[in-house]
Amino acid sequence: MCGIFAVSGERNDAGSMVLKGLKKLEYRGYDSWGIAVREGEKIDVEKQVGKISGVKQKFPPATEAMGHTRWATHGGVTKENAHPHQVGKVTLVHNGIFENYLEAKKSLDDWKFHSETDTEVIAALLDREIQGGKNTAEAIRAVAEKIEGRFAILVMVEGEPGIWAARRGSPLILGRGETETFIASDIPAFLEYTTTVNYLDDGEMVHIHGAQANFSNLKTGTPVDKRNITVDWTTEEAEKGEFAHFMIKEIFEQKQTIIRAINHEDEKLRQAAALLKQANGVYFIACGTAHKVAAAAEYFFADISGRKINVVPAGEMPYFERFVHEGTALIAISQSGETADVLEVLERGKKKGAKILSITNVETSSVARIADAHLPIFAGPEKAVASTKAATAQMALCFLLAHADAEMRERGSINRGREILRTTASSINDLLNPRYEEHVRDVAEKIVDRPNLFIIGRGALYPMALEAAIKIQEVSYIHAQGFAAGELKHGPIALIENRVPCLVLGDDPETVSNAMELKARGARIIGIAPTPAEVFDEWLRVPDCNGSQAIASIIPVQILAYHLAILKGLDPDMPRNLAKSVTVK
Ligand code: F6R
């Protein structure tokens, strides 16, 4: 949610470096952008509405610059609302939400606001503190105290070299070059310059100037020591390469990512499973696609280890919070590990003594760091907004975790689970080829003009029907809805008429007869299953995966969603209104 990037160094092209870095963060927000460049005593700001990807802007020579790609929260998509915001000597970019900004704004009646944003209020508060005699560090600390909500800010002050950053909740990572320092909301922004990073933790601030970075506590100002960490991400992983879009690249990467996700020592899996076993109530907490993964995990655990787990979308957890206490296990699934709703549940749960296990793609994310135990999925950077490879990797890991849970009673269960997943991964490898993609594209051509689409599945394929709907909605903007296979006839079947496409996940007799009920009302049936039932008008083959069918069955839908978007002339990597990492509530 909003991309932030800054550089302070010796090279004289800081403006273009920031432009380039922001293009790599565009998946975080893409309705407008802006860059501030320090030119001697002055700070020049360039802002524009629209995507940054095609921009070819020239900047004056400078060694320091910072910028922002926006995902609008306060105020529409206008040049005035784009960041950076300038008030007096202060230039500021911001990710997050200043929840009590209206109240704070009332105390600033001497400043005429140019935007509708909460960000400009932070800039105005800072400028006032500086004018009142505080140095910049003191001013940032004082203003941070006034902000309710999560935020990450970067600040440049006229006539004062260096860039300040502070965070509470929203991610910021420093890249440490030999002669320069970068600050970004995600690593790909500076990956071509350095793989040495420092994570700015919650409640910390930093001042960078050239290769120098001085960290301190955001409340007390006490200096903080940081360890340099080397990340093993490669620039290729973070680039599209020969693929037209990140989404299709990441779909094809599932050839390797499912195997990578299960690359955990048995002991580590056993320890994670022990956390569940000792728990007094287990809650899987996640949002969006990750929540559908958790819902599939509910079926895996019921089937494999006989454990009933509770699956709650993070935003709904406040209604069940009375059941969280010492001894409750909260299992957070999150690709980014920065989703605000998830983090909030974990923070509140931790205070009550709950134990936390996290399953994320970013090992150093806030979710992973708050957890008592962490299982990374090792999927590599996922940049398309629509989650694909992370979702199947999370599912594979949950499937294996259910086997680790069963191992307590049934020796050899982890090995059996791993064997099933290896076979699944190898059959997915066979599936993901250009011929299969072509076939899915043909099916997409036949249904692309249809405004509504339904998906059914039962068992663990029911949450996959819900996930299929998310994938299709978010990239193709076709109205898609998923249902438990037996549920459609309890109401929604009234919506079925001639040529309405229905994706049927599975070929078991009950699901096939549900498909027949739909076909009898004119639906066009697209079967996604190991065998071609007679009722299918189109058949997208998936391998028979022995309990892990959910993992394989979502892949054709991902490809279908991608091609529906392409056929409609849409950019599947940057769907409207969405951003990759939802760091606001
Ligand atoms: C949809 C999608 C979102 C995310 C959700 C949670 O394709 O990607 O629904 O799954 O925003 O994000 P993470 O997993 O980063 O917590």
How far apart are alpha carbons 46 and 52 in whole angstroms?
12
Expressed in angstroms and rounded, the spacing between residue 244 Cα and the centre of ligand 1 is: 22
Residue 240 lies in a domain: no
- Greatest CA span in the chain, whole angstroms? 79
pLDDT for 54 equals 85
Ligand 1 atom nearest 289 alpha carbon: 10
Instruction: Tell me, yes or no, whether 217 and 253 share the same domain.
Output: no
Q: Residue 34's domain is classified under what CATH number?
A: 3.60.20.10
Residue 21: enclosing H or E segment and its boundaries? Answer: helix 14-24
Domain edge (last residue) among 230, 257, 291: 230
How far apart are alpha carbons 454 and 485 in whole angstroms?
10
Expressed in angstroms and rounded, the spacing between residue 454 Cα and the centre of ligand 1 is: 21
Expressed in angstroms and rounded, the spacing between residue 255 Cα and the centre of ligand 1 is: 21
User: Of all residues in the chain, what percent carry a pLDDT higher than 90?
Assistant: 81
pLDDT for 241 equals 84
470 lines ligand 1 (CB under 6 A): yes
Q: Predicted confidence band at 5 (pLDDT cuts at 50, 70, 90)?
A: very high
Q: Cβ(580)–Cβ(392) under 8 Å?
A: no
Residue 579 lies in a domain: no
Q: Predicted confidence band at 531 (pLDDT cuts at 50, 70, 90)?
A: very high
358 lines ligand 1 (CB under 6 A): no
pLDDT for 31 equals 85
Which is more confidently placed, 240 or 291? 291
Buried b (16+ CB within 10 A) or exposed e, 73-103: bbbeeeebbbbbbbbebbbbbbbbbbeebee
Q: Predicted confidence band at 26 (pLDDT cuts at 50, 70, 90)?
A: confident
Provide the domain count of the chain.
2
Q: Predicted confidence band at 1 (pLDDT cuts at 50, 70, 90)?
A: low
| 3-state SS assignment for residue 96 | strand
pLDDT for 74 equals 79
Pairing of strands 501-505, 452-457: parallel
How far apart are alpha carbons 172 and 67 in whole angstroms?
13
Judged against a pLDDT cut of 70, whether residue 576 lies above it is answered with yes
pLDDT for 344 equals 94
Judged against a pLDDT cut of 80, whether residue 232 lies above it is answered with no
Q: Predicted confidence band at 517 (pLDDT cuts at 50, 70, 90)?
A: very high
pLDDT tens digits, residue range 481-506?
999 999 988 998 999 999 999 999 99
Strand order in the sheet with 3-8: 42-49, 32-39, 64-70, 3-8, 181-184, 173-176, 196-199, 229-230
Q: Predicted confidence band at 65 (pLDDT cuts at 50, 70, 90)?
A: very high
Instruction: Tell me, yes or no, whether 11 and 104 share the same domain.
Output: yes
Judged against a pLDDT cut of 80, whether residue 235 lies above it is answered with no
pLDDT tens digits, residue range 345-361?
999 999 999 999 999 99
Instruction: Tell me, yes or no, whether 298 and 198 share the same domain.
Output: no
Residue 138 lies in a domain: yes
Residue 349 lies in a domain: yes
pLDDT for 286 equals 98
Residue 283 lies in a domain: yes
290 lines ligand 1 (CB under 6 A): yes
Residue 146 lies in a domain: yes
Judged against a pLDDT cut of 80, whether residue 583 lies above it is answered with no
Instruction: Tell me, yes or no, whether 217 and 300 share the same domain.
Output: no
Instruction: Tell me, yes or no, whether 226 and 305 share the same domain.
Output: no
Domain edge (last residue) among 204, 230, 256: 230
Ligand 1 atom nearest 391 alpha carbon: 10
Instruction: Tell me, yes or no, whether 303 and 433 share the same domain.
Output: yes
Q: How far is CA 155 from CA 91, 122, 478, 580, in A?
A: 6, 10, 41, 24
Instruction: Tell me, yes or no, whether 338 and 369 share the same domain.
Output: yes
Mean pLDDT rounded to a whole number for the chain: 93
Which residue's alpha carbon is at the smallest distance from atom 10 of ligand 1? Answer: 289
Domain edge (last residue) among 230, 259, 287: 230
Residue 578 lies in a domain: no
Ligand 1 atom nearest 286 alpha carbon: 16
Q: Residue 512's domain is classified under what CATH number?
A: 3.40.50.10490
**What are 497's two structure tokens?**
């008429």
Q: Predicted confidence band at 584 (pLDDT cuts at 50, 70, 90)?
A: low
User: Of all residues in the chain, what percent carry a pLDDT higher than 70?
Assistant: 99
Mutate to test the pocket of ligand 1, among 289, 359, 367, 477 (most ligand atoms within 8 A of CB): 289
364 lines ligand 1 (CB under 6 A): no
579 lines ligand 1 (CB under 6 A): no
374 lies in which domain range?
246-567
Which residue's alpha carbon is at the smallest distance from atom 16 of ligand 1? Answer: 334
Instruction: Tell me, yes or no, whether 250 and 306 share the same domain.
Output: yes
Judged against a pLDDT cut of 70, whether residue 329 lies above it is answered with yes
Q: How far is CA 406 from CA 252, 298, 303, 402, 550, in A?
A: 31, 14, 10, 6, 19
- Nearest C-alpha neighbor of 125 from the set 455, 266, 110: 110
pLDDT for 260 equals 93
Q: How far is CA 61 from CA 64, 85, 527, in A?
A: 9, 21, 58
Mean pLDDT value of segment 237-246:
86
Instruction: Tell me, yes or no, whether 351 and 205 share the same domain.
Output: no
Catalytic residues, which ones? 2, 580
402 lines ligand 1 (CB under 6 A): no
Instruction: Tell me, yes or no, whether 322 and 412 share the same domain.
Output: yes
Residue 577 lies in a domain: no
How far apart are alpha carbons 90 and 126 in whole angstroms?
7
305 lines ligand 1 (CB under 6 A): no
How far apart are alpha carbons 322 and 338 in whole angstroms?
24
Instruction: Tell me, yes or no, whether 167 and 104 share the same domain.
Output: yes
Q: Which of 54-58, 320-324, 363-367 reaches the highest mean pLDDT? A: 320-324
Q: Predicted confidence band at 75 (pLDDT cuts at 50, 70, 90)?
A: confident
Expressed in angstroms and rounded, the spacing between residue 290 Cα and the centre of ligand 1 is: 6
Expressed in angstroms and rounded, the spacing between residue 74 Cα and the centre of ligand 1 is: 22
pLDDT tens digits, residue range 431-458?
899 999 999 999 999 999 999 999 999 9
Instruction: Tell me, yes or no, whether 217 and 259 share the same domain.
Output: no
